Chain A
């Protein structure tokens, strides 16, 4: 069997595939952050909590209302997104004219409140959410056994990433949005309702987090703390990609998943830190991030 640095080729292929699946998650989550930061200049520390709310909404929706997975995949991002819009309209907007730090503190505080409330009600052990019948089981790829659901996560996350990129970079709505953040007064003079646009954008970013949460629900135990552990990594991905860069977030997310996957084979002890090492290197060599514009 062919070996690469002492690891059989087949094992390596398996790890790369898994890295890609994890990377798709990172991409999806950092994309939401990048949209919110790039267009609204809000450092959204509630993103992890909003991802967790997505997973919880799917779980509770199924448990109490009988909403199935496919419906949850559409409904939950809408509901949690609307909740995000309320947050923007009634809280974030009031501090929009202040330093970014205030937005960071506000969203961080809200995240703690969401988490704490759910910990009090549900505890921290988490609950199981089953994948739909059609996505259960696995397929033999020759070099590994890949659970069908993980394959689906990869496809769904990439499709969503492409959709978001297309919306913002290639449509008229996206153009308004980008123009509104460049010069909101001028856009308002043209008759575009910029505040509404901002509320919708924040809602969309939150919806992306909730979408990732629904995708994650069958993979990991649904628990109130599931978002906070992921958030720091996702922030590192955004920093590496360049704050606010949409394409940067997607490409960096995928590549960080792969780098992490390889670390898990060659030096597992460093798996949790490798992304931060990359972040330090990038900050030293290219402070604006790999895809960021120099200020």
Chain B
């Protein structure tokens, strides 16, 4: 190439223009840094399903993105909400007021997520809920400022209960945790079971948390129901299943239906006690090549296989960073709109998209826990039976009570 003054002028102009674009883009990033807050239960009942592992997943997402977006560095803040709405809301208030945090992720206990999303709405921020179960988070509690990522009670009931009734489990006894989440799940299950031609023959609402389930299992055995539905979570579910196996519930012809069960629960209970249990999950580490590849990287960091929530935290953080990159700003409203515009298809979500109520809908899976004979390793726990397409899995917008949805 012949080098002359003209070429030089072009070069200088191009360089000046590109640096202008770059600085214009940077000017859009608040205080020259993208700040993400990770809020979760780091030490209590829900620690193992999100907790420190979820933080690692978020860090991996940022690292894989190169640690910066368009040259703006990404910083992660983290805190333990101790499953308390007050503690969670106070932390987030501080993040917003003094640390200028742009997005809050993690969010496990439903009560914490609802409190935080209200606060985020008041302050025009952005939150991505990955760990919570309550479907009300994008129904009556929806805001234009938060997104619900991994799963909720609607597909749990819809997937598991429907499949169980179809397999002939048409009479149910409900074992329900006596608080908002349990009641919501029980209501969802009841309507699905009845709509599928089944019947709820009895139930008991146990205090949260309960250590000894023997009395309730005995009542379930006495009810004569074919299915004992567990509308509880965490240690309550683990305790209930352990006790059921000691009392020979499944041997006497009844079957358990776990409605909210995480990989760490099955791992803790062991296959002897959980074999053949049906459950609905948003993701499983061994479901295909892409999932396995990510899960194995995670395993090398943490030493445990990831739960669907931990995988979802990686997926949602990456999607957020992509949206910031595409929009060229970390302004919450613009980023939220950009996120909704881009479909989500990664190792975690298939056919994913964000609806106007903030629900990220994606394919869900009906899984069955393997028997000890079928399992080939410590974490070889589920067999995926079928896929519940994204559009069928979640509560249809036509039934939504969300203020953002025109019905």
Which A residues are closer than 8 A to B by beta carbons?
8, 11, 14-15, 18-19, 21-22, 116, 119, 123-128, 138, 144-145, 147, 149-150, 219-221, 223, 225-226, 229-230, 261, 264-265, 268-273
Distance in angstroms between the alpha carbons of A144 and B47 in the assembled complex: 37
- Establish whether residues A265 and B48, one from each chain, have CB atoms under 8 Å apart when the complex forms: no
Q: Which of chain A's residues have a CB closer than 8 A to the CB of B304? A: 123
A-B pairs with lowest CB-CB distance, top 3: A125-B268, A272-B207, A264-B215
Knowing that A223-B268, A265-B215, A269-B178 touch, tell me 9 more A-B residue pairs with CB under 8 angstroms: A128-B269, A128-B272, A144-B218, A219-B242, A226-B211, A230-B211, A268-B207, A270-B207, A271-B215
Say yes or no: B238 contacts A126, CB within 8 Å: yes
Could you list which residues of chain B lie within 8 angstroms of chain A, going by C-beta atoms? 43-45, 47-48, 51, 178, 204-207, 209-212, 214-216, 218-219, 221-222, 235, 238-239, 242, 246-248, 252, 264-265, 267-270, 272-273, 304
Give the CA-CA distance A225 to B41 in the complex, in Å.
Answer: 14
Q: Return chain B residues, CB-CB under 8 Å to A229.
A: 209, 211
Some 14 contacts from A to B, beta carbons below 8 A apart, are A123-B264, A123-B304, A128-B268, A128-B270, A147-B248, A149-B246, A220-B212, A223-B235, A226-B211, A229-B209, A261-B215, A268-B178, A268-B204, A269-B207
Please measure, in the bound complex, the distance between the C-alpha atom of A14 and the C-alpha atom of B216, giving whole angstroms.
Answer: 11
Partner of B48 from the list A19, A123, A138, A269 (CB cut-off 8 Å) is A123
User: Does the CB pair A268–B247 fall under 8 Å?
Assistant: no
Q: What is the total of A-B residue contacts with beta carbons within 8 Å?
A: 105
Complex contacts, B267 vs chain A, CB 8 Å: 125
Alpha-carbon gap, A70 to B48, bound state (A): 31
Among B45, B47, B205, B247, point to the contact of A147 (Cβ < 8 A). Answer: B247
Q: Which residue of A has the minimal Cβ distance to B214?
A: A18
The one of A15, A219, A221, A269 in contact with B238, judged by C-beta atoms closer than 8 angstroms, is: A221
Give the chain A neighbours of B205 by CB distance below 8 A. 268-269
Decide: A145 and B268 in contact? CB cutoff 8 A. no
Assess the A124–B47 pair: CB atoms within 8 A. yes
Complex Cα gap A221–B213 (Å): 12
Contacts A125-B265, A126-B235, A150-B214; is A220 near B246 (CB within 8 Å)?
no
**A263 CB → nearest B CB, Å:** 9
